[in-house]
Amino acid sequence: MIDTVSGRTLQVSRDGRAGPYLIVQYGQITAVQEALKRANISFWADENAISMSGGPSQSVINFSKHANADEIQRVLDQAN
């Protein structure tokens, strides 16, 4: 899946202490959530979206500490 602002592939961050996470443009959150649900990947999304320096609003999708970041990345890479 491509980030609508940067034009780059969405990347699962692996540096979270609680588990992998994904920062996604607020306008894409529904599509990302649907792709994750179809793949039966558990997640929770922050209720608040933030904007840094007046940029587009972004949300964080969190995954459990034991989630397989490579599997999540494959799902995102295959999503349209």
Domains of the chain (ranges; CATH) run 21-78 (3.30.70)
Tens digit of pLDDT for each residue in 2-29?
999 999 999 999 986 778 999 999 999 9
Res 16: pLDDT: 66
Tens digit of pLDDT for each residue in 42-79?
999 988 888 888 888 999 999 999 999 999 999 999 99
Res 52: pLDDT: 81
Q: Report which residue type is found at 34.
A: E
Q: How far is CA 74 from CA 9, 19, 29, 50, 79, in A?
A: 11, 17, 17, 26, 9
Residue 61 Cα to chain centre, angstroms: 5
Burial class of residue 32 (count of CB atoms within 10 Å of its CB; 0-12, 13-18, 19+): buried
Encoded tokens for 43: 């997640």
> The pTM is what?
0.88
